[in-house]
Structure 1
Amino acid sequence: MGQNGAPEDAEPTRARVARLILEHGPQTAAALAERLNVTPAAIRRHLDAMLAEGVVESRAERLRGPRGRGRPAKVFVLTDAGRDAFYQSYDDLAVRALTFIRDTGGEPAVHEFARRLVGRVENRYRELAANGQEGTTALADALTQDGYAASVEPVLNGEQLCQHHCPVAHVAEQFPQLCEAETEVFSRILGRHVQRLATIAHGDGVCTTHVPHVNSNDSTAGTDSEDTATTGTSRTGRTSS
């Protein structure tokens, strides 16, 4: 709310809250309050209203490493209804078009369409590389330019490429070939095998791809990503190294 507590300020603030969660992933009330420069009490009022409207949901924060005493912090994530506000209204048309492609050209035609669609990310990456940007961060920048709100987080044996938004998530629910083609492109761009761990289309909060550190013995980069990557949680629950 504004200084006078005007109710008209509620919707813009909530929109900013939703955008922060979308772009940065699950957030605590304290983190949201700090980012928006408002009091924790004010942000909790907005979150309570968004919970009641079904725009966000809360869950326990996932911690890396040993957990300390006390309950884990509560984080807030967007629901499908919350994400809908950011999706274009062309999902149904896209599904119909892909269904037609599959019915007339079979599965190979769908795969080819998916490869051409995600090829634009590769083109953007090449443009960044020509200007001296390379690696996972450059790939994240290319994805962000295409609306995927991507970021890179370091992990023990590599990096995780996180896409906090997916403009085609609703379509990819029915056509996972889009996710498979995307993983192939990531592997080809980075010159190594990558593994998809989670996708928004599969119901996860963030699309997550594990990118291992460069291994001099890795001579099969990019050749088997489709065999071992999944469109949801990895089958083994382990990341590649």
Structure 2
Amino acid sequence: MDFDNESSGAPATAAERLLLLLKTRGPQGAAALGTALGTTGEAARQQLAKLAEAGLVESAPQRAGVGRPVQLWSLTAVGHARFPDGHAEMVLGLIAGIRRELGDAALDRLVAAREAETFTRYAGALSGTATLRDRVAALTGLRSREGYMAGWEEDENGFLLVENHCPICAAATACQGFCRSELDLFRRVLGPEARVERTEHIQAGARRCAYRILPQPDRPEREHDHGV
């Protein structure tokens, strides 16, 4: 499954499309980017040079076998910041205020309340799903609509759910409870017949967050009319 199909909104310009491709696919060569844009590698390289001048992208050589190294382009910190982060300054101020005035226990209660509200909403949205595959697809759609640029794919072992963007990144940096809560939320929503582990984490320096979802053969799929 193409992760780009899960992104929200269609960028209007070639530059915006390049930024989105680098955000959702990670470092890419100019030729691959040109193909994705439906143009040439040279045309993509010209656009990338302009984005580099603006400080939004950068390139680094990568050697793959013999021959000249390939220049791979990626977003800079400024480029990543072009994507929305959920009113970061206001959220950071609120978190700092709660921690200062009410303490960490109050902040933990806030995170728990957010998880409970989100679980209720997600459970309702997934109530008509019959299989784990259906639930993964539905959960991915919910997350994508919330700005996480989410996508999923299936392999012989199970499923991979990825989130190429974190709209609450600033809040998660200030309070690690948000990240722990989201992992717990996925486990609750997908149910006991799935094992969910985070394999990539933006807060740990990865380009994206990724979750490996493995079916548990000793846990039968829930009946269709049982909901989540």
Interval containing the TM-score (normalised by the shorter chain): 0.7 to 0.9
C-alpha distance in 2, partners of 1:26/1:120?
36
Q: Partner residue of 2:9?
A: none
Instruction: Note if contact 1:125-1:138 (Cα within 8 Å) is conserved in structure 2.
Output: no
**Aligned residue among 75, 78, 83 for 2:80:** 83
Q: Partner residue of 2:49?
A: 48
Matched, 1:211 2:213: yes
Instruction: Note if contact 1:54-1:81 (Cα within 8 Å) is conserved in structure 2.
Output: yes
Letter in 2 for 1:183: L
Instruction: Note if contact 2:195-2:216 (Cα within 8 Å) is conserved in structure 1.
Output: no
Give the number of equivalent residue pairs: 203
Counterpart secondary structure, 1:147:
helix
Instruction: Note if contact 1:115-1:182 (Cα within 8 Å) is conserved in structure 2.
Output: no
Letter in 1 for 2:200: A
Letter in 1 for 2:57: V
Letter in 1 for 2:91: A
Percent pairwise identity: 28
Matched, 1:125 2:106: no
CA-atom RMSD in angstroms: 3.1
C-alpha distance in 1, partners of 2:126/2:76?
35
Q: Partner residue of 2:89?
A: 92
Letter in 2 for 1:202: A
TM-score between the two structures when normalised by the length of structure 2: 0.74
- The farther-off stretch of 188-197 and 91-100 is 188-197
Provide closer, same or farther for how the CA distance between residues 144 and 91 of structure 1 changes in structure 2, counting only shifts above 3 A: same
C-alpha distance in 2, partners of 1:59/1:209?
28
Letter in 2 for 1:54: G
C-alpha distance in 1, partners of 2:111/2:69?
40
**Aligned residue among 194, 199, 202 for 2:201:** 199
TM-score between the two structures when normalised by the length of structure 1: 0.70
Provide closer, same or farther for how the CA distance between residues 27 and 153 of structure 1 changes in structure 2, counting only shifts above 3 A: farther
Unpaired segments ≥5 residues, structure 1:
1-10, 62-66, 219-241
C-alpha distance in 2, partners of 1:74/1:96?
40
| Residue 93 (structure 1) shift | 1.4
| Residue 22 (structure 1) shift | 2.4
Letter in 2 for 1:149: M
Letter in 2 for 1:205: R
| Residue 120 (structure 1) shift | 5.6
Letter in 1 for 2:180: E
Matched, 1:146 2:146: yes
Counterpart secondary structure, 2:90:
helix
Unpaired segments ≥5 residues, structure 2:
1-11, 221-228
